[in-house]
Amino acid sequence: MGDQLRYDMIKGAKEALETPGVCSNYSPFYVEKHYKEAMNFKGGNAVYTFPNTPIKCAGAPQKACYITDSILRQRGVRDKAHMIYATSLKRLFGIESYLKSLEKVAREKDIDVRTRRNSIEYSLLHIGPPCSTPKALRTLELVDKNGFMDVDVGSLQSKNFPNVFGVGDCMNTPNAKTAAAVSSHLKTIKRNLWQVMQGKTPSMQYGGYASCPLVVSTNRFGIFHEVLIVERGNMIGADSNDRMATLELLDEDAKPTEGIEKV
């Protein structure tokens, strides 16, 4: 089922998105508005928020902030902007091993990182929306007290119904909610489902893997210029804590679906 965007959990957010200066890359209705706002921005506070709930692609609010920084520099108006990344977390990013690299990016770009702040005036606001599971799932006995499907973090088997397995953002596994994580979920449940159907105990364990290509700059054509590949889990083969200058290679040559598990 995935997760549901919950702009309704922020008082006034849905109405604000219909006004100038407020946008969100998470919504297909407002993603183009973000680009237009960045292209027309003349100065003031540009605020990018991160919610106090689980969220799809936790790196996306930072990507939006960094891409806007690139656009404003290319337009020659970056000095007129006070870029603010406002997060509900105690720090800029939740994964310790990547925190220093991303803090360095923020310093280099002169982005003001504010943690656990409630009220900030803005000229441009990008909303990183709260997320939850859909109501159809939240009302079932499959979920925990927070409304996420309650599963064994290794086998991904439901704790309440042994013939049910979870996959994707709707589960209460601690991994980041990304497409790469879903691919690893599928590899796990394909084997475990078959074993349960044969009357056996599921043996394959999900290792917690997730990854996110975190764009930190773009060129004047809007193509990724620098990307930090953020990975987590015991399936990581190399440390990707340094930024990668990808230029056009990632955008033009790489196929996003390569390596994704299919069923």
CA–CA–CA angle 95, 171, 231 (5° rounding): 30
212 as an active site residue: the answer is yes
The residue from 23, 57, 131, 170 that is catalytic is: 57
Between CA 187 and CA 170 the distance in angstroms is: 17
* Angle between the N-to-C axes of helices 60-75 and 31-40, in degrees from 0 to 180, rounded to the nearest 10: 30
Of residues 183, 173, 171, 177, the one with CA closest to residue 235: 183
Q: 23, 65, 131, 212: which one is catalytic? A: 212
**What's the angle, vertex CA 60, arms to CA 154 and CA 261, rounded to 5?**
40
- The C-alpha atoms of residue 7 and residue 13 are separated, in whole angstroms, by 6
Our answer to whether residue 57 is catalytic in this structure is: yes
By annotation, the residues acting in catalysis are: 57, 212
